[in-house]
């Protein structure tokens, strides 16, 4: 990875275009320009959540109007076949690749990111994510599933990891007065990427499809080009504050908060502390519960409420006609979109709230309220209350998103800001684990219940109670989080030594740094926010347009 960065930066003795020294903010820089830069990247990589929009067209990429199926084909054969269409289940492995590679790449290269800065990491993320889509387009065009997995899944997954963590450390340093809010804004983009990308992909697929093509490889290539442009804008929009910088007029609270450390823990020591692993389980269990629901949101609503979604409450799922199933599938897609909307809103709301009530209290809320809502949903389903059922899951998904947005600030509170980006990268292995646990729990229990003859409108009752149990364990882990033992804290001399090179580079800037980060959103910042806000508003509108059909 460092070799890639050196190649991009150039090999001269001066400061390279992508080097960290190049992006140290100068006097008068407005810190409100940094969150939209992060959103430019997160709104692009967030399309990983919306990849299911490609599965149905790709399942008939050869047959065009009807799939060319090969029932006895193994997954190994499917990776290389050019005569049979791919199964949806086989393409679904892309989600596993995405989130496993996201966690692994964030863990491996988080320390590198801290050294080289967010711009270089953002550029490499753009090359990997957009390049992965281009390789995936070749895989679709040549009908080679292994190539699509390797491109969009593996290479794209590395781009996801680097793009996801690229702004975290920077935003926390720019907004020490609003840590949760800052990371909430940026990480909201990851939840919002599918709201823009999925309807855009549908439009492109319909535009490109012909009697000989379902339009997916062309869509992959087009999205790759669009995303590369936006991610490069974001990467070049990043700036880092000079060492020791603080917002003008802001000082740390006079009354010390035991849960917010004024010291730093070295990256090599963070994973040796019980706090790291307790927060790891806190995130893993919160995400496992939520991600399982996201993956099954559409079939869950269809199987539980069936005919009542189209004004025929007496008609159970198995009795629906083909035309009725198409109708309720469209309504269920609106439900999935509504959950995405709350996933995004929760990232900003809960992370911002955590600035006032504390990270630990915020996670207490997630677990206690989550347990109550998961336990309530079987009752809502059995009594036919769509409003209560949908409302419960909207709140649950807001807390799912809020968990992602709050955890970087939780880590900064525990371990300080010096290595928070790299520590966060390592913690994201909890997400990779949750990406396996959550869907496995929900999907396999569903299959077991079906095999046991359980009616479809009761398939998920047991699952909800098991998810409650997972949240209880998460609640206990959160309770056990205490301040880091003093033996792990770095001394002022150790921190000064680490910052020495940066401090020398920043010295001239620090003496003239009046105005860095000063003020609110000026005209330049407002324009940058519009660049990301307009597409996001379009995505929200399309989501609401679909969601209203539920009721």
What SS3 string covers 218-272?
HHHHHHHHHHHHHHHHHHHHCCECCCCCCCCCCCCCCCCCCCCCCCCECHHHHCC
Residue 21 lies in a domain: no
Note down the domain range covering 540: 34-68+76-241+512-546
Taking residues 440-458, report their average pLDDT.
77
Tens digit of pLDDT for each residue in 156-202?
Answer: 999 999 999 998 888 988 998 888 998 888 788 888 888 898 889 98
Same domain for 492 and 516?
no
Tell me what pLDDT residue 442 has. 75
510: its two tokens: 């620090």
Same domain for 233 and 313?
no
Same domain for 464 and 402?
yes
Taking residues 387-397, report their average pLDDT.
89
Tell me what pLDDT residue 443 has. 73
Mean pLDDT is lowest, of 154-158, 348-352, 545-549, for 545-549
The residue to which tokens 């098991």 are assigned: 466
> Residue length, the chain?
551
Same domain for 468 and 333?
yes
Count of other CB atoms within 10 angstroms of residue 259: 15
Residue 12 lies in a domain: no
Tell me what pLDDT residue 512 has. 39
Q: Are 265 and 419 in contact (CB under 8 A)?
A: yes
Tell me what pLDDT residue 484 has. 94
d(CA 266, CA 350): 28
User: Closest Cα partner for 84 from 103, 105, 69?
Assistant: 69
Residue 13 lies in a domain: no
Q: Are 401 and 344 in contact (CB under 8 A)?
A: yes
Same domain for 275 and 390?
yes
Taking residues 342-357, report their average pLDDT.
92
Tens digit of pLDDT for each residue in 230-245?
Answer: 999 999 999 999 877 8
Same domain for 160 and 270?
no
Same domain for 316 and 443?
yes
State yes or no: pLDDT of 513 exceeds 50. Answer: no
Residue 22 lies in a domain: no
d(CA 18, CA 24): 11
**3-class SS of residue 534:** helix
Residue 24 lies in a domain: no
Mean pLDDT is lowest, of 371-380, 469-478, 489-498, for 489-498
Tell me what pLDDT residue 500 has. 65
- pLDDT over 70 for what percent of the chain? 91
Same domain for 430 and 520?
no
Q: Are 159 and 132 in contact (CB under 8 A)?
A: yes
Domain count, the chain: 2
State yes or no: pLDDT of 529 exceeds 70. Answer: yes
Residue 253 lies in a domain: no
Same domain for 447 and 483?
yes
Grade residue 476 by pLDDT with cuts at 50, 70 and 90: very high
Mean pLDDT of the chain: 85
**3-class SS of residue 19:** coil
Same domain for 400 and 436?
yes
Tell me what pLDDT residue 360 has. 96
Tell me what pLDDT residue 449 has. 78
Give me the CATH number covering residue 179. Answer: 1.20.1250.20
Same domain for 521 and 498?
no
State yes or no: pLDDT of 280 exceeds 90. Answer: yes
Grade residue 13 by pLDDT with cuts at 50, 70 and 90: very low
Count of other CB atoms within 10 angstroms of residue 7: 9
Same domain for 271 and 205?
no
DSSP string computed for 54-116: GHHHHTTTTTTTS----TT--HHHHTT-SSSPPPHHHHTHHHHHHHHHHHHHHHHHHHHHHHH
């Amino acid at each position: 990875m460092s070799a890639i960065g050196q190649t991009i930066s150039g090999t001269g003795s001066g400061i390279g275009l992508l080097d960290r020294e190049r992006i140290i903010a100068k006097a008068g820089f407005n810190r409100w320009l940094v969150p939209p830069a992060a959103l430019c990247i997160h709104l692009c990589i967030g399309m990983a959540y919306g990849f299911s929009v490609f599965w149905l067209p790709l399942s008939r990429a050869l047959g065009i109007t009807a799939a060319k199926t090969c029932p006895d084909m193994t997954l190994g054969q499917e990776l290389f076949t050019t005569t049979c269409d791919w199964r949806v289940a086989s393409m679904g492995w892309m989600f596993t690749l995405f989130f496993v590679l996201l966690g692994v790449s964030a863990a491996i290269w988080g320390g590198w990111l801290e050294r080289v800065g967010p711009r270089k990491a953002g550029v490499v993320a753009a090359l990997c994510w957009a390049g992965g889509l281009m390789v995936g387009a070749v895989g679709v065009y040549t009908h080679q599933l292994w190539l699509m997995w390797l491109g969009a899944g593996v290479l794209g997954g590395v781009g996801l990891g680097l793009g996801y963590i690229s702004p975290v450390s920077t935003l926390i340093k720019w907004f020490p007065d609003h840590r949760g809010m800052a990371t909430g804004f940026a990480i909201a983009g990851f939840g919002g990427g599918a709201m823009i990308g999925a309807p855009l992909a549908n439009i492109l697929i319909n535009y490109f499809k012909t009697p000989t093509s379902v339009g997916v490889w062309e869509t992959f290539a087009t999205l790759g080009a669009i995303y590369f442009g936006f991610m490069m804008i974001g990467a070049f929009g990043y700036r880092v504050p000079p060492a020791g910088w603080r917002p003008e007029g802001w000082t740390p609270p006079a009354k010390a908060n035991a849960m917010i450390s004024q010291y730093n823990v070295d990256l090599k020591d963070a994973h040796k502390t019980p706090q790291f692993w307790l927060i790891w389980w806190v995130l893993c269990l919160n995400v496992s519960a939520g991600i399982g629901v996201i993956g099954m949101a559409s079939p869950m609503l269809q199987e539980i409420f069936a005919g009542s979604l189209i004004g025929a409450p007496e008609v159970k799922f198995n009795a629906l006609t083909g035309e009725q199933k198409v109708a309720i599938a469209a309504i269920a897609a609106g439900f999935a979109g509504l959950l995405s909307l709350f996933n995004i809103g929760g990232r900003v709301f809960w992370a911002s709230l955590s600035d006032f009530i504390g990270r630990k209290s915020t996670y207490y809320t997630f677990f206690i309220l989550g347990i109550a809502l998961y336990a309530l949903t079987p009752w809502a389903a059995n009594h036919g209350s769509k409003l209560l059922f949908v409302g419960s899951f909207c709140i649950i998904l807001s807390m799912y998103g809020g968990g992602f947005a709050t955890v970087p600030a939780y880590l900064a509170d525990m371990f300080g800001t010096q290595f928070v980006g790299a520590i966060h990268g390592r913690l994201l292995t909890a997400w990779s684990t949750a990406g396996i646990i959550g869907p496995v729990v929900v999907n396999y229990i569903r299959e077991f219940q079906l095999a046991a003859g359980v009616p479809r409108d009761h398939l998920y009752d047991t699952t909800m109670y098991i998810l409650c149990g997972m949240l209880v364990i998460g609640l206990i882990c959160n309770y056990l989080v205490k301040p880091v033992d003093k033996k792990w804290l770095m001394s002022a001399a150790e921190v000064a030594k680490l910052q020495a090179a940066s401090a020398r580079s920043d010295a001239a800037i620090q003496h003239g740094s009046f105005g860095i980060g000063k003020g609110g959103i000026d005209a330049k910042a407002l324009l940058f926010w519009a660049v990301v806000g307009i597409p996001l508003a379009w995505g929200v509108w399309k989501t609401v347009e679909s969601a209203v059909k539920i009721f």
